[in-house]
Amino acid sequence: MMRYKFKTILVILFSIVAVACTKKTDYKLMTIIGFTNETYGVNENNEAELTILANSVVTGEVLFTTSGDLKEGVDFELVDKSFKFDNSMEAKVQVKFLKAISEETVLSFKLLPVDFATLALSKAQIGGEDEELVIFSFEASKYYMTEIADVFVKLSRISETFKSEIPVMLEVEVDTEQSTAIEGEHFSFPNGKRITIPVGKDKAAVRLKLLKEEKDKGKIVLRVKAPAKNYKVGNFDESTVQVYVTSFENLTGDWRYVAFANYDYTVTNTVNMGDDPSTLPKNNSSSDVLKFENDNLTVSLTGDIKNYFRDTKLVKKGEIVEVLSEEPGYPRVNMMLVDGLANVPFSARKIEERKAEIGLNLRIINGKEYLDVTVRDYEPIDFLLETYDMVKDWGMTPAMQFYPLRYRFERVK
C-alpha cells in the first residue's frame, strides 16, 4: 500500500492578490484555486481523497487530467469526475483503487484552466514516496471551555522529534454520537475545523467558541481525521471538551487570592487624573479566601479586600460580555453579575453596607481553575478619589463600572 510525504501548500493559495481596475484606488480580489497538498496517500479502505481550496467563496467546476502507469477502470475508479464548488471554498474528488498498488506507483493529477479563477498549485499526485510513520494525537484527553477553548493536536515520530519543513494541515471532526452539545447551536469553530501546523513546529490548535449554555448539553467529543495511511493515531485519538460556565454550582468551594489582575491597567488609566497608585487596595495574600456554597458567600479575609467583601447571599442579575482590556488581545468573557452585600466605600474608616453589583467569571488558564471577581460597584474614599469625582456625575449605574477592580482567585483543592 502506498505511503506519502505530506506536503501542504497554503501560503500561495491564501495570499491575497489584487488586480488594479480602472481607478488607481479600486481593486478586485482575484480568486485563486489550488491543491492543498502536493502528495496524497491511500487510506485503509484503499481510497484517496484530493482537495482543492479557493481563497474566496466560488461556484464552478474544475476539470483535471490524470497520468501515470495506472489505468482508469482497471486499477482505479474516479468517484468524482471533476472538482465542484457550490458557493463554497472547498471541493473534493474521491479516488477508489480496484487492486493493491505498490508503494512506488504514482497517479498524477493536473488541474485544467478555468475562467473564474487563477490556478496556484495545479499538480498533485497519489503515492510515490515512502516515509517514516507520523504519529498524530490530541495533546490532552480533556479540555474545559468557558468562553473559548483551544484544543491542541501534536505530531511526532518514533525515532526523532517531528519538525515540519512546510505547513501541515489536519482537520478535526465532531463525534455527534458521543457529544451532547450541538455544533452551530451550543458551540462553533470560529476559525474552521482545519489545523495548520506551521513550519518548524509540531503542534497547533483548533479553537471552539461557546454559543449557548444548556443543561446536559455541555459535552463535545472531537476526533482528528487521519490524513493518510502513514499517519497513525497516538495517545489520544479523541478529546473531550467540557463546557465550564460560571454558575453557582460550579463556584461551590474555596477560592484563595492570587492577584490584583488589572492593577497595572488601573494605574495606567488613573494616574494621569492625579490619583496615587500606592493607595490602591492591593495588599492581599493567599490567606484571603472566598467560600461559595451555591449562592452563599462566606469570606475569610485579612488583606485590603476585607474592607469591601462581606458574608452574603448572592442573587444573580444576569450576564454581560466583559472586555478584559488588561490582557493581550483584549479577550471577551461572559461575566455573571450578582447582587451581594458589600461595604461600598471600600474602606476601614467608613462602613456603608448595601447590595452591590459584583462580576464573577470562571476561567481555565493552563489547565487550572481560576475565578475573576470584578468589583464594579464601589464609592471609594481612600483611593481613586479623582477618578470617582469625575465619573460619579456621569449618570452611570454603577458609577465605577468603567474603572473596575479585578481580583483573581484559584480553587483550593
Residues 346/349/355/356 CA torsion (nearest 10 deg): -10
pLDDT band for 44, please (50, 70, 90 cuts).
confident
Q: What is the per-residue pLDDT across 270-283, written as a single tens digit (0 to 9) for each?
A: 999 999 999 999 99
Between CA 16 and CA 22, with CA 18 as vertex, the angle to 5 degrees is 165
The residue that leads in pLDDT, 278 or 232, is 278
Distances (CA, A) of 361 to 154, 250, 264: 30, 10, 20
Structure-block grid coordinates of residue 13: 493559495
pLDDT at residue 166, as a whole number: 66
> Average pLDDT for residues 274-297, to the nearest whole number?
97
Which of 62-71, 153-162, 391-400 bottoms out in mean pLDDT, i.e. has the lowest? 153-162
Residue 191 makes CB contacts below 8 A (sequence gap 6+) with 206, 207
pLDDT at residue 229, as a whole number: 55
pLDDT at residue 226, as a whole number: 67
pLDDT band for 131, please (50, 70, 90 cuts).
low
Distance separating alpha carbons of residues 391 and 398, to the nearest angstrom: 10
Distance separating alpha carbons of residues 373 and 369, to the nearest angstrom: 13
Which of 96-105, 263-272, 283-292 bottoms out in mean pLDDT, i.e. has the lowest? 96-105
pLDDT band for 1, please (50, 70, 90 cuts).
very low
Which of 45-54, 153-162, 188-197, 284-293 bottoms out in mean pLDDT, i.e. has the lowest? 153-162
DSSP code of residue 193: S
Biggest alpha carbon–alpha carbon distance for the chain: 91
